[in-house]
Amino acid sequence: APAFDVDAVRRDFPILSQQVNGKPLVYLDNGASAQKPIAVLDAMDRYYREMHSNVHRGAHTLGDRATAAFEGARETVRAFLNADSTREIVWTRGTTEAINLVANGLAGRLQPGDEILVSRMEHHANIVPWQMIAERTGAKVVPIQVTPEGELDLDSFHSLLNERTKIFAITHVSNVLGTVNPVKELIDQAKARGALTLVDGAQAVPHYQPDVQALGCDFYAFSSHKLFGPTGIGVLYGKAELLEDMPPYQGGGEMIERVSFERTTWNTLPYKFEAGTPAVAEAVGLGAAIDYLNGQDRRAMEAAEKALLERANQLVETVPGMEIIGTASQKVPVMSFKIAGLHPSDIGTLLDQQGIAIRTGHHCAMPLMDFYGVPGTARASFAFYNTLDEVEQLFAALQKIQRLFA
Ligand code: PMP
């Protein structure tokens, strides 16, 4: 495979070559949402120019084209995740809706006293849906603790996993800390105790290609917009026998086999979970994003990302009072930090004036902020299209901000 050429890759992302506040844009907010390559923009444009129609109607040629493009994208996602069948690939609005779908679908299996094991480093999307179901069923949401370095506390995991654990829902990668959790081992142990397992892959897929069969999880969720695809669509992978057993999430068109006022029956998988006209162009866009990634040397990309994080870590000591939150040994290129004497939101505003985009705040992970005793952090999150030069620019700006304002 050809060596990874970041300049060539950046030409695929037109949004990156612009000025913001009079400075070249340095986009380091990829964890919140990633940018889209021309291949995605073109695929969606072409879809609307040449084939748009409603899907699964079979009455005319455009409908057939749209259906083929839509179902082709589902197959692309199946292959990306190494799922057994496209019956196991359900389109959702994103990770959030995928987890809500599973929580609702499993509610019937929960009884008072049952436990849903999550962790303190979860995004609210992998906490709140479980709390809502716990409220309805009398089950309890139990958090695994984290270590000061930002790794899962495995002693806490072992002591909390027990025969009452019915569901184990864990993030693959922390959006705040960048920590890569040892999900395979955790899933093995949870399954041995009879728990169902869900992995929140929102922050993992932009960096790694997961293999759901190797992981052995029952459910895996991710969002297109963090994987260089469009907003408004995401994926729930679920094992077919579990999806078969779960009630539908929403009712309406598409999800039924036959409707009558006496008795309505459900469509086959995955359509049972896809009520209403789906996000067809967005599915096509996500398929194009995955095709784009498949056309790259992903090992070389990973190495390039690793180099960005290493350079950032080397430069931390050049900013007096800067402290990294999350120093796990296995990390994706995400750097949460604080600087003594500066509020995170001021860091964000001052960086923006330099054309540098980061995220500040609680990152939808308030229980984790509470653990670290901070209201929020500043977070730089890198993608493969970021450069070492951009890392240097970030730190040059942080040095200046610290000197002038801390
Ligand atoms: N989980 C994690 C780990 C995330 O980072 C995010 C997005 N910040 C979500 C879930 C929710 O994703 P979405 O808003 O796309 O549904």
Are the C-beta atoms of 279 and 66 separated by less than 8 Å? no
Residue 382 has pLDDT above 60, yes or no: yes
Average pLDDT over residues 209-220: 98
Query: 180-199 burial, b for 16+ CB within 10 Å, e for fewer?
Result: bbebeebbebbeeeebbbbb
Residue from 198, 207, 233, 190 nearest 298 by CA: 207
User: Which among 123, 128, 181 is the best mutation to test ligand 1's pocket, defined by most ligand atoms within 8 Å of the CB?
Assistant: 123
Centroid of ligand 1 to alpha carbon of 264 (angstroms): 34
H/E stretch holding 361 reads: strand 359-361
pLDDT at 308: 98
pTM for the model? 0.98
Residue nearest to atom 6 of ligand 1 (CA): 202
Average pLDDT over residues 158-173: 98
**Could you give the CA distance from residue 296 to residue 227 in angstroms, rounded to a whole number?**
14
Centroid of ligand 1 to alpha carbon of 329 (angstroms): 23
**Could you give the CA distance from residue 271 to residue 243 in angstroms, rounded to a whole number?**
11
pLDDT at 64: 95
E-state strands within 263-358: 265-266, 322-325, 334-339, 356-357
Residue nearest to atom 12 of ligand 1 (CA): 95
Residue 209 has pLDDT above 80, yes or no: yes
User: Which among 30, 33, 95, 172 is the best mutation to test ligand 1's pocket, defined by most ligand atoms within 8 Å of the CB?
Assistant: 95
> Residue 172 — pLDDT band, cuts 50, 70, 90?
very high
pLDDT at 101: 98
**Could you give the CA distance from residue 59 to residue 40 in angstroms, rounded to a whole number?**
28
Per-residue pLDDT reduced to its tens digit, 251-276 = 999 999 999 999 999 999 999 999 99
> Residue 1 — pLDDT band, cuts 50, 70, 90?
very low
- Phi and psi at 216, nearest 5°, equal 80, 15
Per-residue pLDDT reduced to its tens digit, 175-184 = 999 999 999 9
User: Which among 120, 180, 203 is the best mutation to test ligand 1's pocket, defined by most ligand atoms within 8 Å of the CB?
Assistant: 203
Q: Report CA 50 to chain centroid distance, whole Å.
A: 31
Per-residue pLDDT reduced to its tens digit, 196-207 = 999 999 999 999
Tell which phi-psi region holds residue 132, choosing left (phi > 0), alpha (psi between -120 and 50) or beta. Answer: alpha
- Phi and psi at 302, nearest 5°, equal -60, -40
Per-residue pLDDT reduced to its tens digit, 87-129 = 999 999 999 999 999 999 999 999 999 999 999 999 999 999 9
Centroid of ligand 1 to alpha carbon of 94 (angstroms): 8
**Could you give the CA distance from residue 284 to residue 66 in angstroms, rounded to a whole number?**
9
ipTM over 0.95: yes
Report which DSSP code applies to 173: B
- Output the average pLDDT for the chain: 97
CA distances from residue 356 to 47, 127, 140 in whole angstroms, order as listed: 34, 31, 42
Residue from 157, 138, 233, 225 nearest 195 by CA: 157
Beta bridge partners of residue 199, listed in sequence order: 170, 220
> Residue 4 — pLDDT band, cuts 50, 70, 90?
confident
Centroid of ligand 1 to alpha carbon of 233 (angstroms): 12
Ligand 1 nearest atom to the CA of residue 97, by list position: 16
Beta strands 89-92 and 234-238: pairing type?
antiparallel
Ligand 1 nearest atom to the CA of residue 225, by list position: 15
Q: Which CATH number fits domain 41-294: 3.30.2290.10, 3.40.640.10, 3.40.50.720, 3.40.50.300?
A: 3.40.640.10
**Could you give the CA distance from residue 191 to residue 187 in angstroms, rounded to a whole number?**
6
- Phi and psi at 121, nearest 5°, equal -100, 15
Beta bridge partners of residue 20, listed in sequence order: 23
Ligand 1 nearest atom to the CA of residue 32, by list position: 8
The binding-site residues of ligand 1, defined as CB within 6 angstroms of any ligand atom, are 94-96, 123, 125-126, 171, 175, 200, 202-203, 223, 364
Centroid of ligand 1 to alpha carbon of 125 (angstroms): 6
**Could you give the CA distance from residue 270 to residue 98 in angstroms, rounded to a whole number?**
13
Tell which phi-psi region holds residue 252, choosing left (phi > 0), alpha (psi between -120 and 50) or beta. Answer: left
Active site amino acids = 364
Ligand 1 nearest atom to the CA of residue 173, by list position: 3
Structure-token match 């695994």, residue found: 144
H/E stretch holding 244 reads: helix 240-245
pLDDT at 58: 79
pLDDT at 2: 53
Residue 3 has pLDDT above 80, yes or no: no
| Domain map (residue ranges) of the chain | 6-30+297-405, 41-294
Tokens of 362: 């609680």
- Domain 6-30+297-405 part of CATH 3.90.1150.10: yes
Average pLDDT over residues 34-48: 98
